[in-house]
């Protein structure tokens, strides 16, 4: 395979819009997976902080239960 043949093949790929669309789908799919795993890690860390705050707060204190914010 000569360099000219390889160059012509790469040039033909650059005009293939299906290939560009597939690359975009793969990119955003990988980006969404990375975001999902980051969300899970942050959610786990926040739950750990919440449990630490709950165990360190005074036993009779229920300041967190008076909040009217509902969380998933």
Residue bearing tokens 């707060």: 57
Confirm whether 49 is domain-assigned. Answer: yes
DSSP labels, 19-37: HHHHHHHHHHHHHHHHHHH
Residue 60: per-residue pLDDT: 54
- pTM (2 decimals)? 0.52
| 11 or 33, which is more confident | 33
| Digit-coded pLDDT (tens) for 15-72 | 788 888 889 999 999 999 999 999 999 999 999 999 999 998 876 555 555 566 666 6
Model pLDDT, residue 57:
83
What is the rounded distance in angstroms from the CA atom of residue 47 to the CA atom of residue 54? Answer: 10
Structural domain boundaries, residue 16: 3-55
| Residue 41 included in any domain | yes
Count of structural domains within the chain: 1
């Amino acid at each position: 395979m000569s360099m000219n043949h390889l160059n012509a093949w790469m040039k033909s790929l650059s005009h293939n819009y299906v290939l560009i669309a597939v690359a975009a789908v793969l990119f955003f799919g990988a980006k969404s997976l990375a975001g999902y795993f980051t969300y899970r890690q942050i959610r786990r860390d926040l739950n750990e902080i919440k449990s630490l705050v709950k165990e360190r707060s005074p036993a009779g204190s229920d300041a967190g239960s008076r909040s009217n914010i509902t969380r998933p």
